[in-house]
């Protein structure tokens, strides 16, 4: 009964390096999301997807790219990491036609030096 | 702009005391409203939600919240705090109907419970 799983859970990068965060859900949810959490700012939506092969920008998309090649997976990429991208990243999913209740992963803590 | 305001970034109560966490939202359409809880080093999990049924919503762990349209509020309460309630609480509003891509989160309120 995994729910939403994120990998890796921790990562340290140097400025300019690239990396990909993987999110996998086993609930057959149509919608998936990537958020970042920063102190005092709540959660802010980076990108989201309403189905396989489709993605859209959220509130803070700059510096990030995403892909959803399979319904159960949603990847978040940083092509050239910057210190401002130091944050905790959360993946979430929800069913289409629902109230929007979000199911979250445990988070990925990224530090960019 | 639509927004969610949580009054107080930190709230401290004694064990056994009333917990009251405040949330106000601005929305021109009837929203779906949520409270999520985040324990240290974990993701957010749903505490309770309002979806236009009863205005008083009961959630897990003895928490409840009341939707007051006239006040655009959705405050979270618990009659008697327990040490295990120490966590960060987020109020969220879904403005977009089905799906969650129009969900706005408040900045969060960290609850401390003193023995």
Of A43, A97, A106, the CB nearest to B105: A43
CB < 8 Å to B101, chain A = 31, 33, 45, 48, 50, 56, 58
Chain B residues within 8 A of A31 when measuring between CB atoms: 99-101
Run of H or E including B89: strand B87-94
Q: How confident is the model at residue B95 (pLDDT cuts 50, 70, 90)?
A: confident
- pLDDT band for B30, please (50, 70, 90 cuts): low
- Apex B96 CA angle, A91 and B8, nearest 5: 70
**Helix (H) and strand (E) counts for chain A?**
0, 11
Task: Give the number of A-B residue pairs with CB atoms closer than 8 Å.
Answer: 75
Q: Which position has the token pair 């107080």?
A: B8
Query: Which H or E run contains B19?
Result: strand B19-26
pLDDT value at position B1?
65
Number of residues written out for chain A = 113
**How big is chain B by its Cα radius of gyration, in Å?**
14
Cα–chain-centroid distance for residue B12? 16
Q: Which residue of B has its CA nearest to A51?
A: B99
Q: Which residues of B touch A42 (CB under 8 A)?
A: 4, 90, 105-108
- pLDDT the model gives residue A1: 65
Using the beta-carbon criterion (under 8 Å), do B100 and A102 form an inter-chain contact?
A: yes
Residues 13-32 of A with CB under 8 A from B: 31
Higher pLDDT: B32 or A99? It is B32
Candidates B67, B57, B58, B63; CA nearest to B27 is B67
How far is residue A73's CA from residue A105's CA, in Å, rounded to a whole number? 12
**How far, in whole angstroms, is CA B88 from its chain's centroid?**
10
Integer Cα distance of A65 and A72 in angstroms: 17
Q: Which residue of chain B comes nearest to A58, CA vs CA?
A: B101
Q: Which of B65, B50, B107, B113 is nearest to B87 (CA)?
A: B113
SS3 for A52-102, per residue?
Answer: CCEEEECCCCCCCEEECCCCCEEEEEECCCCHHHCEEEEEEEECCCCCCCC
Residues of chain B neighbouring A44 (CB-CB closer than 8 A)? 105
Is B98's pLDDT higher than 70? no
Q: Which residues contact B70 (CB under 8 A, 6 or more apart)?
A: none
Most confident of A3-17, A30-44, B39-53, B86-100: A3-17
Asked if the Cβ–Cβ distance from B32 to A40 is below 8 Å, we say no
A49-77 pLDDT per residue, tens: 999 999 999 999 999 999 999 999 999 99
Segment A72-90 shows an average pLDDT of 97
* DSSP state letter for A105: -
């Amino acid at each position: 009964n995994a729910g939403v799983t994120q990998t890796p859970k921790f990562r340290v990068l140097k400025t300019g390096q690239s990396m990909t965060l993987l999110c996998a859900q086993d609930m057959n949810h149509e919608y998936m999301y990537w958020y970042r959490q920063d102190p005092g700012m709540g959660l802010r939506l980076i990108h989201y997807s309403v189905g396989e092969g489709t993605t859209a920008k959220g509130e803070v998309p700059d510096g990030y790219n995403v892909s959803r090649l399979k319904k159960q997976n949603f990847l978040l990429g940083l092509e050239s990491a910057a210190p401002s991208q130091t944050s905790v990243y959360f993946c979430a999913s929800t069913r289409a036609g629902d109230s929007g209740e979000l199911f979250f992963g445990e988070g990925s803590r990224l530090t960019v030096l | 702009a639509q927004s969610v305001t949580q009054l107080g970034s930190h709230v401290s109560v004694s064990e056994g005391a009333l917990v009251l966490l405040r949330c106000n939202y601005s929305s021109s359409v009837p929203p779906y409203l949520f409270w999520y809880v985040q324990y240290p080093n974990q993701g957010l999990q749903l505490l309770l939600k309002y979806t236009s049924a009863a205005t008083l919503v009961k959630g897990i762990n003895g928490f409840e919240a009341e939707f007051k349209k006239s006040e655009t509020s959705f405050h979270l309460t618990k009659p008697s705090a327990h040490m295990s309630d120490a966590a960060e609480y987020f109020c969220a509003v879904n403005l977009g109907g089905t799906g969650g891509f129009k969900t706005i989160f408040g900045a969060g309120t960290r609850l401390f419970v003193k023995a």
